[in-house]
Structure 1
Amino acid sequence: SFPASVFNSYITANEEYIFQKLLQMVKVVINPFVMLPVLLMGYKSIGMVVVTTILNITVEIANTVFCFKKLKIKFSFHQFDLALMKEMAMFSSYIFLNMIIDQINWSIDKFILGRFRGTVAVAIYGLAAQLNSYYLSLSTAISNVFIPRVNRMVATKNDNIELTNLFTRVGRIQFVLLSLICSGFIFFGQPFISMWAGKNYKEAYPIALLLIIPVTIPLIQNLGIEIQKAKNMHRFRSWLYFFIAIGNLLISIPLARVYGGVGAAAGTALSLLIGNGLIMNWYYHNKVGLDMRYFWKEISKFAKAFLLPIAVGIVMYLSIDLNRITAFLICGVIYVTVFFVSMWFFGMNQYEKDLIGRPLSRVARKVLVSKR
C-alpha cells in the first residue's frame, strides 16, 4: 500500500473526489458479497485476509491506471533535490509524531482502567470510545475535501482573510452536522446504547458524552490543521499534543481510581478543553493568522436555532419511553426533521442553504423531466 499511496494522494491533489469515493464505495459494497462465500467454504481468517488483500490491490491498480490514463502523472528519477528531501523529512516527522501521540492519547484511558479497574471497565469504555471514533470520522470526511484548496491558497496568496473565511465556512458546515449527532446523542444515546449493547453497558453513555462534547471544538476546526501544515507551522501542535497526553495521564489516573471510566473520560475531556479549546485557539489567532473572534461569532449565530430542537428533545426524553424500538425510531426521525427545519430558518446562511437546495432542485428537475 505504501507505493500506491503516491497515486491516491495525486488523485486527491487533483480533486478527483467522485472517482475516489465511488471506488471506495464499490469496494465496501463488494466486500461482504465476496467475504461471506469464502467464510462459508471454511477458509476462516486466512480467507478474509486474502479477500481483503485482493480488493485492496484491485483498488490500488485502478488508482494507478486512473493517474496514468486520465491525470497523465509523470515521474522524474533524476536531479535528486537533497535540500527538498531534508525539508520533507522534517515536515513529515512532526506529522508522524503527532499521529503517534494522538493514538497514545486516545489509548491512555483504557490502559489506566485496565490497571486500576479491570477488564469490565475497559470493555465499557471501549464501547464509548468506538462511538467517539465514529464521531471523529464524520468531521474529517468534510475537511479532507478542502486540503488541496488550502494548500493552493497558501502557495499563491497566503491571504489570512480568505483563509479565515474558508476556515469559518467549513467549520459552520461541520458544526451543523456534528451538533445534530451530539445533541441527538444527548437525548437518544442512553436508549440507543441499551438496545445496541445491552443494559450492562449503560455507563458508556456518560463516558461517550464526556468524550464527544469537548472534542467537538477541535473537530469543527479540522481545516486549521491543514492550514498549519500548508504554512509549515504544525510543530507547535505536535508538541502541544505531547503535553496534552502527559496532562491527560496525570489527571486521569486519580480520577479513574475513584470514579472509574467516567473519571478517566473526565480527565480526557479536561485536557481537550484546555489544550484544543484554549491553547490551540490562541495559537490560531495570534500565530497562524486566523481570526478566531470572527470564527466563534459566526458559530454563535446558530444559538437561536437550537432552542426548538432542544425543547422537542426534552419533551420526548421526559414523556416518551425511548427504549421501545418503534418509539425510538419515530422520535429520532421527528428530532432530525425539527433540527434541520430550525437550522434552515434560524441558523443557516444563504451559502449553506444553496449547498443543500441546489442539488435537491437539480434532482427534482430531472425527476419532472423524466415523468414528461
Structure 2
Amino acid sequence: MRLLNRIIRGSVFRVGSLLLQIALTFIMMPYIVNSLGIRMYGFWALACAFVGYFGLMDIGLASAVVRYVSRALGANDKQDVNRVASTAFFTFSGLGMAALLATLILAFLSNWFFKSPDESKIFGQVILITGAGFALSFPMRVFAGLLNARMRQDLQSLTSMLRLLVANALIYLSLSNGYGIMALALSYLAADIFMHTLTAFMAYRIYPGLQIRPSLMSTASLKTLFSYGGISFWAKLAGIFQFRTPPILIAIYLNANYVTLFHVGARLLQIYSALVDSVASMGGPMYSWQEARGDKQALQNSFLHFIRISSLFAVFIGASIVFFGKDFVTVWMGKGYVTSYYIILILGAPTIIAATQGPAVNLLFSISRHRFMAVINTVETVIGLLLSMILLPYYGIYGVAAALGVSTLLCKSVILAYYTCKCIEVPGKDYVRAFAMPNLKLLAAMGFYFYLISDYLKPTYASIMGLAGVQMLLFIPVIYFFVLEKEDRIALAGVLKARKMGDDPLSAAHPADIDKDASCQ
C-alpha cells in the first residue's frame, strides 16, 4: 500500500470513527442520563475529569514512539524498532503503576468531595474502575504507536470503532437490566481490554520480528524519547487542564447537576472540533514532506489550500450547530437541557474560530514548530481558568463558558494566524484572501438560508434532519463551484485520484518526516 494511499485511507477511517462516535453519543447519552439520573451522571462526568488528569503521566512519550519507530523503519533497523518499543513499553508500564497508585489515593480521598457516605463510596468505586482502565492503557499505547509508525491509522481507527460498539452494547444491556453507574464503568473497562488486545495482535502481525523484552531496554533510547516528548507533553498538559478543570470547578462551587448540564453542551462542541480536525489533519504528511525537501512555495500553497477548505468545512458545520442546536438539544435530551444549548451559544463562535485554525496547528506540529503551540495553549489555559474562577461565583456555568470563550478568542485567532504565516513566510494579504473572504461569503449565504427556514424549524428530528438535508444539497455544490477557487478544486481532485497514480511521490520521503505528531490530534 503506497504511502499517500495510507494517508487517505487513514483519514477516511478516522472520520468514520468520529461519525460513529457522534452517532452513538446522540443515541446513548440521553439513555444513559435518564437511566442513571442527572446527579449520578454528574458523578460519572466528574470521575472522568479526575482520571483524565492521569494523561499527564504520558509526558509526550506516545508521540515520541511514533517518531523514532518511524525513523528506525526508514533506516530498516529492526533492532532499533525493538529497542524503542521495549524501552517505551516498560517505561509506560512504570507510569501505569504510578497511575494505579494515584487511583487508589484518589478513591481513598473520595469523602473529601461528598458529604454523604453512600455517595462517597459510589464515587470511590467508579474512580477505582476507571482509573484501573486508564492505568492499563499506558503500556498498551506502544502498540498503537507502532501502528501509527506504519501509517496504519486505518487499523487503529478500526479498533476504536469496535471498542465503541462493544462498550455501548454492554452499557445498553447492563442499564436495561437495572444496573447502575458501576455497570457503566465496567462496560468501558471491558471494551478497553478488548481494544488493547486487538491492537497488540495487529501490531505483532504487522511487525513479524517484534520483540518486547526487558533486556532490550536502552538508556540512550529512553533519553531520546523523553527529549522529543517534552514539548508535546507541555502542549498536552495545557490542553488537559483546559478541558478537565471546568467540571471540577463547577462541582466545587455548584453541584454535580450543573456538571451534567455543562458537559452536554461542551461535549457536542468537542465532537465538532474532533470532526473538523480529522479534515484539517489530512495536510500534515504533505507539510512534512514539502518542508523536508525545502519546497517553500509548495508548502505555502498547500497551507493556503487547506486553510480555505478546512475553514469552510468548520464554518459550515459550526454555524449549523449553533442554528439547529437549541431544537436539537431539546429533542435529544429534553426541555430541561436548554441550559446546555446556551453553553453552545456562548462557546460557539470561539470554538468555530479555533477549529478554522486546524491547518495552522497541524502545520506547526508537522514542521517541528510545536513549541509555540505549547506556549499559546498554556496562556489560553491560564487565562481561561483565572476568568472561570472570577466569573463562576456570579454567573455560574455561563461564566465558565464565557471565560473559556474569551481565552480561546484571544489565543486562537490573530496570534496563531500571525505566527503561522511568519513561520512559512506567507503574506498576510494572501492569508486573509484565502481564509476570510470565502467564509464571509459562506456565512452571508447561510444566514439568508437560516432566515428563510426559521419559521419551519421545529424541535423534532424530522424537521431538523429534513432542513439540514436540504441545506447540504443546496450548499455543497455552491461551496465547490462558487466559493472554492479553481486551484482548490484541482488540489482536491489530485488527492482523490492519488490511488490511480503509478508512482507515489511521497514514497521516497523519510517516514519520520511524513508522520504527524500524534499529540496535536
TM-score calculated relative to the size of structure 1: 0.79
Aligned to 2:304: 168
Matched, 1:242 2:381: no
Give the whole-Å Cα distance in 1 for the aligned partners of 2:372 and 2:495.
40
Cα deviation 1:264-287 (Å, max 9, x = unaligned): 212211111111212222322334
Amino acid at match of 2:187: M
Aligned to 1:65: 204
Give the whole-Å Cα distance in 1 for the aligned partners of 2:409 and 2:494.
35
Give the whole-Å Cα distance in 2 for the aligned partners of 1:259 and 1:75.
53
Instruction: Describe the shift of the 1:227–1:158 C-alpha distance in structure 2 as closer, same or farther (beyond 3 A).
Output: farther
Percentage of matched positions with identical amino acids? 18
Please state how far the C-alpha of 1:214 moved relative to its aligned partner: 1.2
Aligned to 1:114: 251
Please state how far the C-alpha of 1:351 moved relative to its aligned partner: 5.5
1:130 to 267, 280, 285: 267
1:92 to 215, 224, 229: 229
Range with bigger deviation, 33-42 or 87-96: 33-42
Range with bigger deviation, 88-97 or 10-19: 10-19
Give the whole-Å Cα distance in 1 for the aligned partners of 2:184 and 2:248.
28
The answer to whether the 8 A contact 1:193-1:204 is kept is yes
Please state how far the C-alpha of 1:248 moved relative to its aligned partner: 1.5
User: Which structure has more RCO (C-alpha within 8 Å, separation ≥ 6)?
Assistant: 2
Give the whole-Å Cα distance in 1 for the aligned partners of 2:309 and 2:249.
36
1:346 to 472, 478, 482: 482
Amino acid at match of 1:102: G
Aligned to 1:177: 313
Matched, 1:203 2:339: yes
Give the whole-Å Cα distance in 2 for the aligned partners of 1:119 and 1:54.
29
Note the 1:132-147 alignment, pairs <5 A.
132-147=269-284
Instruction: Describe the shift of the 1:10–1:170 C-alpha distance in structure 2 as closer, same or farther (beyond 3 A).
Output: farther
Give the whole-Å Cα distance in 1 for the aligned partners of 2:342 and 2:172.
36
Instruction: Describe the shift of the 1:230–1:85 C-alpha distance in structure 2 as closer, same or farther (beyond 3 A).
Output: farther
Give the whole-Å Cα distance in 2 for the aligned partners of 1:80 and 1:244.
37
Cα deviation 1:153-195 (Å, max 9, x = unaligned): 33x2244433232222222332232222211122211111111
Aligned to 1:151: 288
Instruction: Describe the shift of the 1:233–1:52 C-alpha distance in structure 2 as closer, same or farther (beyond 3 A).
Output: same
Give the whole-Å Cα distance in 2 for the aligned partners of 1:111 and 1:50.
23
Question: Secondary structure at 2:207's aligned position in 1?
Answer: helix
Cα deviation 1:318-360 (Å, max 9, x = unaligned): x224123332222221122222232123212345546479969
Cα deviation 1:190-246 (Å, max 9, x = unaligned): 111111122222122232133232123332333333433344332232233222222
Give the whole-Å Cα distance in 2 for the aligned partners of 1:220 and 1:205.
21
Aligned to 1:315: 452
The answer to whether the 8 A contact 1:35-1:51 is kept is no
> C-alpha root-mean-square deviation of aligned residues, in Å?
3.6
Aligned to 1:330: 466
Give the whole-Å Cα distance in 2 for the aligned partners of 1:35 and 1:260.
32
The answer to whether the 8 A contact 1:240-1:275 is kept is yes
Give the whole-Å Cα distance in 1 for the aligned partners of 2:377 and 2:426.
20
1:55 to 170, 189, 194: 194
Give the whole-Å Cα distance in 1 for the aligned partners of 2:308 and 2:199.
34
Give the whole-Å Cα distance in 1 for the aligned partners of 2:188 and 2:257.
30
The answer to whether the 8 A contact 2:350-2:405 is kept is yes
Give the whole-Å Cα distance in 1 for the aligned partners of 2:463 and 2:194.
40
Instruction: Describe the shift of the 1:112–1:86 C-alpha distance in structure 2 as closer, same or farther (beyond 3 A).
Output: same
Give the whole-Å Cα distance in 2 for the aligned partners of 1:46 and 1:111.
19
The answer to whether the 8 A contact 2:171-2:183 is kept is no
Aligned length: 356
Aligned to 1:276: 412
The answer to whether the 8 A contact 2:343-2:401 is kept is yes
Amino acid at match of 1:64: A
Amino acid at match of 1:193: V
Instruction: Describe the shift of the 1:55–1:5 C-alpha distance in structure 2 as closer, same or farther (beyond 3 A).
Output: same
Give the whole-Å Cα distance in 2 for the aligned partners of 1:307 and 1:35.
43
Q: Which runs of 5+ in 1 are unaligned?
A: 363-372
Matched, 1:294 2:294: no
Aligned to 2:55: none
Give the whole-Å Cα distance in 2 for the aligned partners of 1:236 and 1:66.
38
Instruction: Describe the shift of the 1:35–1:199 C-alpha distance in structure 2 as closer, same or farther (beyond 3 A).
Output: closer
Please state how far the C-alpha of 1:44 moved relative to its aligned partner: 4.2
Instruction: Describe the shift of the 1:251–1:194 C-alpha distance in structure 2 as closer, same or farther (beyond 3 A).
Output: same
Instruction: Describe the shift of the 1:255–1:86 C-alpha distance in structure 2 as closer, same or farther (beyond 3 A).
Output: same
Give the whole-Å Cα distance in 1 for the aligned partners of 2:169 and 2:247.
35
